[in-house]
Amino acid sequence: MTPFGRRLRELREARGVTLKAMAAALRVTPSYLSALEHGRRGPPTWMMVQRVITFFNIIWDEAEELQQLAALSHPRVTVDTAGLEPEATELANRLARDIRSLEPQDLRDLLAVLASARRSG
């Protein structure tokens, strides 16, 4: 599941909307919407995100958050470490190899380190 897919499902379930009803309103198939929620599709298009925002009548901060989640929701990521320190290449390769064995708290900790580095950099 991608960050966007998880948020989409949370919004849908909180409002008691079925997958089939939402798919019809967004003019997509239920199988596409399910694949989007489960991370079996690439990130949604800008237009699809706008449809979701309109469907749920989302405004301002929440709409911006949904757009950011969509941008971070490609289930198959490529990391280009050309020209970076050797440690960057090692980190990218080890993460690709070992990500499935990380515990949820490990993932949250790594995300916190990255967020901190982004704020200070």
pLDDT means per 10 residues, the chain with 121 residues, are 93 96 96 93 92 94 94 89 95 94 95 91 70
**Nearest-angstrom CA–CA distance, 33 and 91:** 33
CA angle 109, 104, 90 (to 5 degrees): 60
- For the record, the structure tokens of 85 come out as 């320190």
pLDDT score at 120: 86
pLDDT score at 10: 96
Q: Which CATH architecture has domain 3-71?
A: Orthogonal Bundle (1.10)
The contacts of residue 118 (CB under 8 Å, 6+ apart) are none
pLDDT score at 87: 94
In the chain, where the domains are located = 3-71, 86-120
H helices of 1-121, where?
3-14, 19-26, 30-38, 46-55, 60-71, 86-98, 104-120
